[in-house]
Chains A and B, each alone.
Chain A
Amino acid sequence: QKEVEQNSGPLSVPEGAIASLNCTYSDRVSQSFFWYRQYSGKSPELIMSIYSNGDKEDGRFTAQLNKASQYVSLLIRDSQPSDSATYLCAVPIQGAQKLVFGQGTRLTINP
């Protein structure tokens, strides 16, 4: 089992709809969780962090964490073409000594 797993996609969503991105992780003691956005040819950019079970909202983005199920998700409401990118889930592993990334989900928002 991979330490951090995401559906690689591609995920195609119409403009204005909700995009849902999912991630599972293997380390039960992980305490913090991150979502990065990476545009083609650019470096990853941190867009959300979540530390507690439940939802965390920031503008059009909502991160959801369920530690019992070892599951974290990212919802993007009112999707815009500018949201088209690869979204990477990242979780500190091995006593938080390194940040492990999923393979990323490529998201395309269709006008």
Chain B
Amino acid sequence: KAGVTQTPRYLIKTRGQQVTLSCSPISGHRSVSWYQQTPGQGLQFLFEYFSETQRNKGNFPGRFSGRQFSNSRSEMNVSTLELGDSALYLCASSLVEGALGGYTFGSGTRLTVV
């Protein structure tokens, strides 16, 4: 059974550009959550999608957005990139909505903004 797949694994972008990250959850999982991980802040919740609807959002500016498709695949977009957006972006999937059952994480996308 395939795990959570994130693409690309690495990205280098310039300040002001925008970026789109992709996540394919475990087959049958309908919930996808996104996290940002930095050395200083740790793992910070960005948002959760379930059945193509955003169910919950963390404390991030509007430059961070996402969506989920009918096949449960999800994309995350960051516009007008800032140096501080450099981080490991992790996607996690779960069978049910919410966090009661825990998550399975993908390998992450390492974004570097220069």
Contact = CB atoms under 8 A, between A and B. Distances in A.
Contact of A99 (B55, B88, B103, B107): B103
B39 to A, nearest CB: 10
A17 interface: no
Interface residue range, chain B: 20 to 34
Interface residue range, chain A: 20 to 34
Contacts of B88: 43
A108 B41 CA distance: 21
Interface of A: 31-32, 34, 36, 42-46, 49, 88, 90, 92-104
6 nearest interchain CB pairs? A92-B99, A99-B99, A101-B43, A43-B105, A97-B56, A96-B98
30 contacts: A31-B100, A32-B99, A32-B101, A32-B102, A42-B107, A43-B88, A43-B90, A43-B105, A43-B106, A43-B108, A44-B105, A45-B105, A46-B102, A49-B102, A90-B102, A92-B98, A93-B99, A94-B56, A96-B98, A96-B99, A97-B48, A98-B33, A98-B45, A98-B48, A98-B58, A99-B33, A100-B45, A101-B43, A102-B42, A104-B42
